[in-house]
Structure 1
């Protein structure tokens, strides 16, 4: 599956590496939501592998002396982004007090927090997640 993803996505990587107006955050958020990867570290490893594939592609296109610096720089950029884009609720940076607060609503609210962190509405930090969870609980209490 990884090889298929690398082959099918490598031209997109080239696009992002060669277009300053392209939004790599948007691409990584889309990949995080795709279901192809189980954790952020898997996505990070995949984009690092893609940088290698794309560098080989640049050289393999008949230009053995072409610079691959931009390709590797894009790989580093994407790898850094993946560290900030959670894929699973396990990737959220909450402490033990959050599940204690949420009780039986933990799974449901963590899923909502995951969406908020991916979209950039909430920072993936313990304090920010706790505040967002408290707001979510308060809204749920008002609805009931």
Structure 2
């Protein structure tokens, strides 16, 4: 990693999906087919786990446990991509995806675009109901500016 530029090092260190000894398997899977997504750093799927460090289930909630472990994997609810170097990058949480006019919009991706502007120190993006689109984004930047799409 030392041979990489500081920006490339920062991007690699920002990834979250590094395996540890107690985890049997970690994968990013298509929710419908349960097949691993391509290792292309672009195709998004749900991050799923297997291993002896996983919980047994939700206390006194059989239905939630069955849903969480459907297909034999613990479904984290986190959405991510797999990189060719084997790391997984977290992209969003499935409950934070905003469906606007049939398009899936990631709050984290919109925030990362806002953060790329040098004047932006803080940003938050959430969805809000919209009569025409179903949902739209609304964001707050640096606590003083509101924008919407």
Task: Name the TM-score class by shorter chain.
Answer: under 0.3
| Larger strand proportion of the pair | 2
TM score, norm. by length of structure 1 = 0.27
Larger radius of gyration: 1
TM score, norm. by length of structure 2 = 0.26
